[in-house]
Chain A
Amino acid sequence: GAVVSQHPSRVICKSGTSVKIECRSLDFQATTMFWYRQFPKQSLMLMATSNEGSKATYEQGVEKDKFLINHASLTLSTLTVTSAHPEDSSFYICSAMRVTSGGARYNEQFFGPGTRLTVL
């Protein structure tokens, strides 16, 4: 099956620093990856759609200058939380979309294990 990894799984940083989270599709190429944020006991909120070789598309209310997304290759997307603050503490989950030959309806998203960010 398709595997998506995230690194690191947990990170603790000081307020004001930047943190980079990697999302990799290990056994398939993904032109599109998604970044989600999940607050405790809440659903996943889509932050942005990452497209290989082009700018990410951010959801309304998500600061693109704070959450920098780079999708430099077909297997890697990175999310950088810049000048992190305690309110950025959250569980960040990525997913990678595997395109199938049957058409868009059959495209599948595979999720990474998530990254727990704690900003002190």
Chain B
Amino acid sequence: AQSVAQPEDQVNVAEGNPLTVKCTYSVSGNPYLFWYVQYPNRGLQFLLKYITGDNLVKGSYGFEAEFNKSQTSFHLKKPSALVSDSALYFCAVRDVGGTASKLTFGTGTRLQVTL
């Protein structure tokens, strides 16, 4: 069974500082990894994904993530945080070797960016 762990419930960072939101995964086949952001009372917005290729993936709003196979991690990063980045972030994994391309989500990490 596939699983995702987001070890931090909340990450606090000052505006202008770099941010990292951690994610580790477990999957039997090849991992297809995703990051989504959720604003209050809204659905999920896609940020970026890793399917294959370069380990460093660049996504929306200046976010990027690095796929590390040996550490089974896919941490989300941004060089300079903005107050508007404050939201709930979900890491997800999809094992295409399984059925129905189901996504399994982590528990989410709340990012709080302050002035």
Most buried by A among B30, B43, B105, B107: B43
Q: How many residues on B have C-beta within 8 angstroms of the other chain's C-beta atoms?
A: 22
Q: Is B41 an interface residue (CB 8 A)?
A: yes
CB of B5 to closest CB in A, whole Å? 11
Specify the main secondary structure of chain A where it touches its partner.
strand
> How many A residues, CB 8 Å from partner?
27
- Given A43-B105, A111-B36: A105 and B51 interface contact (C-beta under 8 Å): yes
Q: List residues of chain B with CB within 8 A of the CB of A105.
A: 30, 32, 51-52, 96
Query: Is A62 engaged at the interface, CB distance under 8 Å to the other chain?
Result: no
Minimum Cβ distance to chain A for residue B98 (Å): 10
Contact across chains for B101 and A44 when beta carbons are under 8 A apart: no
Q: How far is the CA of A114 from the CA of B39 in the complex (A)?
A: 11
What 0/1 readout, one digit per residue, does chain A (88-114) give for beta carbons within 8 Å of chain B?
000101010100000011111111111
Residues of A within 8 A of B (CB): 4, 6, 32, 34, 41-44, 46, 49, 57, 91, 93, 95, 97, 104-114, 116
